[in-house]
């Protein structure tokens, strides 16, 4: 059962005990889809292993809301969301991935092998957060995990593909960031005038396709 705790007077946090796993995350998505149908519930926001929902306390009382989450939880199935398959072309290394050599050095693999393993894995979008369209993805091969840079960059170029600890992701916009940059995609991750505005959604399955590799 998730732990329930108010987040202020109009939001509720539903949080599962660690570690985060895909089956747990799938039930989080299922909970999000379920509560969104309830009167008085506003937005739902999946986190890693947790869900935050906003609600109107004049329409639904928090105690009633918590009781309803507890009652709904055991009935939720872990397979409610069928994510799309999204292929993301990446130019690895060189000016597009200035930290590829550092990742290779840290992991003890060659640069070509880092690229091969990064592009061979299946990733799942657990949630979007941090920036519009920024996907937190699970599925990075553990041997590619590399700590964040000790000096974060003040301006990471948009569409950079990076590794931060045990996660991989893509910066949708120019932003400060500390992840190790290994490549860059030509796809737009966020376009406010498009429908939908983000390339990725929670539940999507992602493969990185090698477009080019430049090793040093």
Partner 1 sequence: MMLVQKPGMLASVQDLGRHGHRQLGICPGGALDVLALTLANRLVGNADGAAGLEITMGGCEIRFETATRIALVGDGFGARLDGAPLWPCWSVPVAAGQTLKLAGANAAGVKKAGLRSWLAVAGGIDVPPVLGSRSTDLKAGFGGHQGRALRKGDRLALGATALDAARLARRPFGVRGPDGGPEESDGSIALRVLPGPEFDQFTAASHSQLWNERWRITAQSNRMGSRLAGAELNRKRSADMLSSGVIPGTVQVPPSGQPIILMGDAQTTGGYPRIGVVIRADLWKLARAPLDGRLRLVQVDMAAALQAWAEQQRYLAQVAQGLAAAGWTGPA
Q: Binding residues for partner 1, per CB under 8 A?
A: 5-11, 13, 15, 18, 20, 32, 42-52, 54, 57, 62, 127-134, 136, 172-173, 175, 190, 192-193, 196-198, 201-202
Least Å from the CB of residue 113 to partner 1: 28
Residue 90's region, left for phi above 0, alpha for psi from -120 to 50, else beta, is: beta
CB of 164 to partner 1, least distance (A): 11
Residue 180 β-bridge partners? 163
| Cα 201 versus chain centre, distance | 9
- Distance of closest approach, residue 93 Cβ to partner 1, in angstroms: 27
* CA separation for the pair 126, 49 (Å, rounded): 9
Closer residue to partner 1 in complex, CB, 92/134? 134
CB of 116 to partner 1, least distance (A): 28
- Beta carbon nearer to partner 1, 201 or 205: 201
Nearer to partner 1, 119 or 168 (CB): 168
Q: How far apart (Å, rounded) are the C-alpha atoms in residues 47 and 126?
A: 8
Residue 88 Cα distances to 82, 105, 118, 139, 154, angstroms: 19, 25, 12, 15, 25
Please calculate the CA angle 31-37-41 and round it to the nearest 5 degrees: 85
What is the closest distance, in whole angstroms, from the C-beta atom of residue 100 to partner 1 in the complex? 25
Q: Return the number of the residue (59 or 105) whose C-beta is nearest partner 1.
A: 59
Buried b (16+ CB within 10 A) or exposed e, 167-178: bbbbbbeebebe
Report the alpha-carbon distance of residue 1 to residue 7 in Å, rounded. 18
| Cα–Cα distance for residue pair 90/112, rounded to 1 Å | 13
Residue closer to partner 1 (CB basis): 42 or 152: 42
Q: Which is nearer to partner 1, 133 or 162 (CB)?
A: 133
Torsion sign across C-alpha atoms 97, 101, 104, 109: positive
CB of 95 to partner 1, least distance (A): 23
């Amino acid at each position: 059962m998730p732990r329930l705790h108010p987040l202020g007077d109009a939001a509720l946090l539903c949080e599962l005990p660690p570690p985060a796993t895909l089956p747990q995350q799938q039930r989080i998505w299922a909970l999000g889809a379920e509560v969104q149908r309830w009167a008085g519930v506003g937005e739902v926001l999946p986190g890693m292993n947790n869900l935050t929902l906003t609600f109107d306390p004049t329409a639904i009382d928090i105690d009633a809301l918590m009781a309803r989450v507890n009652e709904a939880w055991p009935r939720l199935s872990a397979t409610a969301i069928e994510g799309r398959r999204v292929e993301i072309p990446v130019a690895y290394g060189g000016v597009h991935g200035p930290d590829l050599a550092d990742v290779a050095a840290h992991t003890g693999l060659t640069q070509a092998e880092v690229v091969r393993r990064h592009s061979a894995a299946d990733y799942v979008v657990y949630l979007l957060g941090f920036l519009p369209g920024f996907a937190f993805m699970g599925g990075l091969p553990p041997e590619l995990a590399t700590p964040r840079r000790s000096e974060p960059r003040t301006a990471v170029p948009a569409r950079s593909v990076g590794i931060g600890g045990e996660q991989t992701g893509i910066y949708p916009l120019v932003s400060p960031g500390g992840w190790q940059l290994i490549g860059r995609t030509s796809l737009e991750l966020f376009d406010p005038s498009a429908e939908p505005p983000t390339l990725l959604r929670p539940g999507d399955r992602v493969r990185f396709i090698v477009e080019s590799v430049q090793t040093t």
